[in-house]
Structure 1
Amino acid sequence: MMMLDDAGGRLADDGPNGMDGGWRPLDSVRQTGFENALPPLDVRPVPGGAEMRTRPHAGCANVMGSLHGGFLSALAEQSLFLPLYLHGRCSRGGIVVIDFSLSFLASGDIATPIVARLELLRETGRMAFVRGTLWQGDVAITAYSGTVRKLDKR
């Protein structure tokens, strides 16, 4: 079972080792910049893709108290590199997004952790095609896809 850790907003799995299940914090490449506007992110590789999870905070809300669409869009776009990065196919910051499409499926709750599930659909020498879904519990709140260009080779 997933538990919230109020120290730093991190998520931890219930278990003897705290961060069970292969989850680890996503390393930050910069102390400044847009990525620091997002809450802390935990990630793990899965066969054929990746997963990311985070705990939203009050700054992620819209005027109605639900998750802001801009926050959800940014979170989804920022996750597109993970299937490549977590499987050693690009460096941190080693891609650019060529196109990105997102559909809002349901309203998001500010008090519920978000899990992104990403699938690497296809990879070529320089390009990758990724599909993802943001979930809160068993409710899909967004579905998205994107094309990324790799800037470096691994």
Structure 2
Amino acid sequence: MARAPQPLRPLLDGPWAGWLAWSDPVAGTFLEAAIGTSYSRPAGEGRAIVMLETRPDHANRLNALHGGFLSGFADHALFAALAAMGRPEQMAAVTVNLNMQYCGAGRVGPNLQADVDLLRETGRLMFLRMTISQEDVLIAATSATVRKAAERK
């Protein structure tokens, strides 16, 4: 039986060597079409960094990064960060709440960097905070609550 492609894979060479790459293996999904491949790595206990290369199709008509794209990236970055923190089973968790504060205009070209902190974890929920920046300039801030994925038996 052929094994399904895995969306999360460690990169061993190239500019993202040492990072985890996440691409949706199913063509035409929102993640594959609208977001693209993200790169994540741990950044200490309960912390991770998620990077994304911006593309022209991430822009709005003013040639700034579209707010809907930024919130979609923020939602994705939560799970990419949890996987980088050693919790890949949470790639199947769901967002309960996502608050987004737009702090500046993002530009097409520079990579986006999401710095994600796991603030608290209960039996069913995870509480996270994130900042999104480009070239050390704050673009957005996010707080979120995630319902953990059910344990597989």
Mapped to 1, the partners of 2:137 and 2:49 lie a distance apart of 16
Identify the structure with the greater helix proportion: 2
Deviations 1:25-56 (A, max 9, x none): 12535334211121221111221221111111
**Preserved CA contact (<8 Å) 1:42 1:53:** yes
Runs of 4+ off more than 6 Å:
none
In the alignment, what sits opposite 1:68? 66
Number of residue-to-residue matches in the alignment: 138
**Preserved CA contact (<8 Å) 1:90 1:150:** no
Q: Which amino acid aligns with 1:38?
A: I
Mapped to 2, the partners of 1:132 and 1:98 lie a distance apart of 15
Structure 1 residue 148: Cα displacement:
0.2
In the alignment, what sits opposite 1:11? none
Aligned residues with identical type, % of pairs = 35
- The alpha-carbon distance between structure 1 residues 76 and 85, as it changes in their structure 2 partners (threshold 3 A), is same
Q: Which amino acid aligns with 2:108?
A: I
Q: Which amino acid aligns with 1:46?
A: A
In the alignment, what sits opposite 1:106? 104
Structure 1 residue 74: Cα displacement:
0.5
Unaligned runs of at least 5 residues, structure 2: 1-12
What SS class does the counterpart of residue 31 from structure 2 fall into? Answer: helix
Unaligned runs of at least 5 residues, structure 1: 1-16
What SS class does the counterpart of residue 89 from structure 2 fall into? Answer: coil
Per the normalisation by structure 1, the TM-score is 0.80
Mapped to 2, the partners of 1:90 and 1:52 lie a distance apart of 14
Per the normalisation by structure 2, the TM-score is 0.81
In the alignment, what sits opposite 1:140? 138
- CA RMSD for the aligned pairs? 1.9
What SS class does the counterpart of residue 145 from structure 2 fall into? Answer: strand
Mapped to 2, the partners of 1:57 and 1:24 lie a distance apart of 20
**Preserved CA contact (<8 Å) 1:29 1:92:** no
Give yes or no for the alignment of 1:34 onto 2:16. no
